[in-house]
Amino acid sequence: MQEDTKEKIETLLSEKRVVLFMKGSPEFPQCGFSARAVAILREVGTDFASCDVLANDDIRNGIKEYGNWPTIPQLYIDKQLVGGSDIMMEMFEAGELQAMLKT
């Protein structure tokens, strides 16, 4: 990964405690998995930043390498990768995501 791409990702992760790298925007998700991730975060009631990976190929490819996670969306809390929409759903259903977001 290029150093400037890594710096852009780290800057995005520093802007808010919760950051979702997704396809599209929270208002207009471009895939079902991103839509589900947004719905989960809204259900929990957390404030989050988002990054549309479709708008920047460097970020789209770089975030996969950065977190060593092959798919989008990717949720980060406190600059740490939590996972994609399936993991978010499992954690939400178990109450783990809500607990993680309360701290």
User: What is the pTM for the complete model shown?
Assistant: 0.94
Backbone φ and ψ for 26, nearest 5 degrees, come out as -55, -30
- Res. 1: pLDDT tops 80: no
On whether the CB atoms of residues 84 and 69 are closer than 8 A, the answer is yes
Q: How many residues does the chain have?
A: 103
Q: What is the pLDDT of residues 20-76, one digit of tens each?
A: 999 999 999 999 999 999 999 999 999 999 999 999 999 999 999 999 999 999 999
Count the Cβ atoms, other than its own, within 10 Å of residue 80: 10
In 3D space, the residue among 63, 60, 58 whose CA is nearest the CA of residue 13 turns out to be 63
Could you please state the CATH topology (level 3) that the domain comprising 3-102 is classified under: Glutaredoxin (3.40.30)
Instruction: Give domain limits for the chain.
Output: 3-102
Q: Are 10 and 61 in contact (CB under 8 A)?
A: no
